[in-house]
Amino acid sequence: MGSRKIFFIILMLCSSPLYAQFRLDLESGVVFGTNYNKVRIPNVGGTQVNLANDLSIDPKIFYRIRGTYTIGNRHNISALFAPLSVKYHGTFDENVNFNGINYAAGQPLEVFYKFNSYRLTYRYDFVTKTRWRVGLGLTAKIRDADVRFKNESNDTHFDNVGFVPLVNFYASYKPSYRWSVILEGDALAAKQGRAEDVFAGAAYQVNPKFGIKAGYRVVEGGADSDEVYNFNWINYASVGVLLSL
C-alpha cells in the first residue's frame, strides 16, 4: 500500500466523529446552601466553627468548564476548571481563634471561602450501548483553597494548594433519542480526608451539535491534617449547555 493511501486512510479516520470527537460542557447555576462547613485553623489550638450554622450565606452564581476529547467512542480525556467562592456574614456566639487571631463574640464579620478545582481525567467507557453508557476512570485534581476572616479590627486568611487523586465515574441512560438521565462525578475517601463531586440530572439533545442539561450537584468532603481541619457540603442548582465540535 502506497504512502499516499496510508495518509488518506489516517485522514479519514481522524475526521470521522466515531473515531474522535471534542465536546464542551459549560455549566452554571446557583450555590443555594451549605449543609455544613466546619473549619478549625490551626487544627490544634484553633476554634472549630460551622460556617453554615453560625453565619448566613449569600447566594452565589457559579460556573464550570469541561472539555472532553473522545477517541474510538470509549476513551475519554477531559480537563475541568471549576472555581468556587462563597461569602458568609454574621456574628459568632463565642470568641473564635482563627489562624492565630481572636475574633470576639457578637462582632460582625465576613468569611470568604474559596475552593477552586483544576482536574485532568481519563475515563474508559466499558458499556457503549444505544441506551446505556457506563465508564470508570481516574482524575488528577489540584485543589486551591482559601479561608479568610475579616472584620473591622482583623483580616487574616489561610490558603492551601494540594494534589488529590480521585476515581471518576459516569453513567447515562437514554429513555428516548433526545433525552438522557445522567449520574457522574469524582470521589475518593482516605484516612486524611475525602472528596465527592457528583452531578445527577437530565440532558436534552436539541440537535447533533447542541444540547442542554439541568440537575443537582453536590460537593462534599474535606481534610483533617496537622495544619487544617475543614469539611464541607455544598449544594448547587445546575444548568448547562453541551456542545459537540
Q: Write down the pLDDT at residue 17.
A: 46
pLDDT in tens, 91-109: 999 999 999 999 999 999 9
Find the distance separating the first CA and the last CA of the chain, reported in whole Å: 32
User: 243 near 26, Cβ under 8 Å?
Assistant: yes
Cell numbers describing residue 23: 465536546
Confidence of residue 11 (pLDDT cuts 50, 70, 90): very low
Question: If you search the block for the grid coordinates 470508570, which residue do you land on?
Answer: 136
pLDDT greater at residue 10 or residue 223 = 223
Q: Write down the pLDDT at residue 95.
A: 96
Cell numbers describing residue 105: 463574640
Q: List strand residue ranges (DSSP E) for the chain, in order.
A: 20-40, 49-50, 56-57, 60-71, 75-82, 85-90, 96-98, 101-103, 109-128, 132-150, 155-173, 179-190, 193-207, 210-224, 229-244
| 38 pLDDT above the threshold of 80 | yes
Mean pLDDT of 240-244: 97
Q: Could you give the C-alpha distances from 214 to 27, 35, 120, 165, in angstroms and in order?
A: 9, 21, 23, 27
Q: Write down the pLDDT at residue 230.
A: 95
Cell numbers describing residue 155: 483580616
User: 97 near 111, Cβ under 8 Å?
Assistant: no
pLDDT in tens, 112-127: 999 999 999 999 999 9
pLDDT greater at residue 87 or residue 9 = 87
Q: How far apart are CA 12 and CA 16, in angstroms?
A: 6
* Four-point Cα dihedral 49, 52, 56, 59, nearest 10: 140
pLDDT in tens, 158-177: 998 989 999 999 999 999 99
User: 225 near 43, Cβ under 8 Å?
Assistant: yes
| 12 pLDDT above the threshold of 50 | no
Mean pLDDT of 184-203: 94
Confidence of residue 2 (pLDDT cuts 50, 70, 90): low
User: 81 near 65, Cβ under 8 Å?
Assistant: yes
Does the model's pTM come out above 0.85?
Answer: yes
Q: How far apart are CA 134 and CA 212, in angstroms?
A: 20
Mean pLDDT of 55-66: 92
Q: Write down the pLDDT at residue 4.
A: 55
User: 85 near 60, Cβ under 8 Å?
Assistant: yes
In 104-114, which positions are buried (b, 16+ CB within 10 angstroms) versus exposed (e)?
eeeeebebebe
